[in-house]
Amino acid sequence: MRAILNVIWLVLSGFWLALGYTLAGIICCLLIVTIPFGLASFRIAGYALWPFGRTVTERRTAGVPSMLGNIVWLIVAGWWLALSHIVTGIALCVTIIGIPLGIGNFKLVPVSLLPLGREIVPTR
């Protein structure tokens, strides 16, 4: 079932969302100071491309630097990536088949707002 949901996700929204994260990662890597944000963006792009079967957990070892980085990320790129998840999630929830995909989009909003201090792990 996860494979079917991932393929439908990839076609309907995953490709475009991953493209947005990749664009944000490239922009962040062009500026030397924001390379950690770019790496986090590339990590989330892979998750946005194929999300079912994986989940996001908080790293307990993340401290104040992650919190400060999340504040900068929120101002620079987080808000428009979260907005893209919300808009796509609402559009997918219009149909019955798209409801699980819309819920998946809504689950990606917190990680798009505050990506540092989190890691993506398999659900098994």
For 68-124, what is each residue's pLDDT tens digit?
A: 888 988 888 888 889 988 999 999 999 898 898 899 899 889 998 988 888 888 887
Say what the pTM is.
0.82
At 51, the pLDDT band (50, 70, 90 cuts) reads confident
> Nearest 5°: CA angle at 88, between 70 and 100?
100
Whole-angstrom Cα Rg for the chain: 14
Provide the strand spans (E) within the chain.
54-58, 118-122
Instruction: Decide if 113 contacts 79 (C-beta within 8 A).
Output: yes
- Single-letter amino acid code for the residue at 80: W
Cα distance between residue 97 and residue 42, in whole Å = 28
Parse the chain into domains and list their residue ranges: 2-122
